[in-house]
Structure 1
Amino acid sequence: MLFMKYTLDIVIEMPLDECMKTFANSENMKHWQRGLTTIEHISGTPGEFCAKMKMHYTLRKRPISVIETITHKNLPHEWYATYTTDGADNIQENFFKATSENQTQWTSINEFFPLNFRMHLKLWVMPRTFKKQTLRYMKDFKNFVENGISVADA
């Protein structure tokens, strides 16, 4: 397997504009990205095209750092980024659309490219792990937007 690609969808019971206010604000990330501990701005205008930031997570008691680069921004409908770790690159394309006055559909297309043998093996042996992690973030975002429940409080 040279890479893995999957698409996930979720419907959020909130108007598109409200979802985007929450999604676009990096201060909110700690409320829906489990394990996120700190964010460091690296370059560019935060939240804008070509901006880079380093995100630090603790997942399963292990520290992980990820570099996010915004590669396309057309909010409220599109937001793309690449995420680089020492083991893989993840290209993520996010699409948002109002399905009714009070609903937003979020579609996330993800492509993972392993950068070393260990990650290549993980993608081959445990592909569902990556999908589950993405879906968990999407569900946590939905829960935060709809109910104000933060994973930071857990």
Structure 2
Amino acid sequence: MKYIIQITINKPLTECFNLLDDHSNMKHWQAGLDSYEHISGDPGMIGAKMKLNYTFGKRKMTLTETITHRDNNKAFHFNFDSKGMHNIQENYFEAIDANTTQWTSKNQFAPTNFAMRMMLMLMPKEFKKQSKRYLIDFKNFAENGTSLLK
């Protein structure tokens, strides 16, 4: 499954990219994130790997994030791998003006087992909804300092 989502953020491009690049900010805009751990490579650089641990309701999930492309203030691409799913995410950033940034996120989900294939077929809107939620929460964090931490 492939889809594209976009959001306009009322902050300068460099500020948005820097907030996204700082892993310590993830807890403020990624709902369900419990912890993250650097595994290998230079943090924030191509080839770097991180282990991300999430809880969604009663379900725990671990992802391995690999940075596949980085072009400062223009693009940041990742692969996310978990039990049963491979996700390719390409993020593009464009300055609309000096204080406004357009974030375009291209997502591709490829199930690697039967259970996830069925989940993707039965609930494709949930994947899109979650991706959109992250962008909205990032926008709120970038613009207003709104954190998901209670």
* TM bucket normalised to smaller: over 0.9
Counterpart of 1:38 in structure 2 is 35
The reply to whether residue 78 of structure 1 matches residue 75 of structure 2 is yes
Please give the residue correspondences for 1:1-12 in structure 2 after superposition, counting only pairs within 5 Å.
4-12=1-9
| Structure 2: runs of 5+ lacking an equivalent | none
1:47 to 44, 48, 61: 44
From 66, 77, 84, the counterpart of 1:69: 66
Distance of 2:135 and 2:29 partners within structure 1: 8
Partner of 1:25: 22
What SS does the corresponding residue of 1:30 show, helix, strand or coil?
helix
Q: CA RMSD in A?
A: 0.6
For this pair of structures, how many residues does the alignment match? 150
The answer to whether structure 1 residue 118 and structure 2 residue 102 are counterparts is: no
Give how far 1:62 is off. Answer: 1.5
Map 1:93-132 onto structure 2 (within 5 A). Answer: 93-132=90-129
Out of 105, 122, 144, the position equivalent to 2:141 is 144
- TM-score, structure 1 normalization: 0.96
For 2:133 and 2:57, how far apart are their aligned partners in 1? 15
Question: How far apart in 2 are the matches of 1:132 and 1:74?
Answer: 27
Measured in 2, the distance between the counterparts of 1:125 and 1:36 equals 24
Q: Percent identity?
A: 50
2-structure distance, mates of 1:83, 1:129 = 17
Q: TM-score, normalised by structure 2?
A: 0.98
* In structure 2, C-alpha distance between the alignment counterparts of 1:94 and 1:53, rounded to whole Å: 18
* Residues in 2 aligned to 1:85 and 1:27: alpha-carbon distance in whole angstroms: 22
Cα separation, 1, equivalents of 2:74 and 2:149: 27
Match of 1:15 in 2: 12
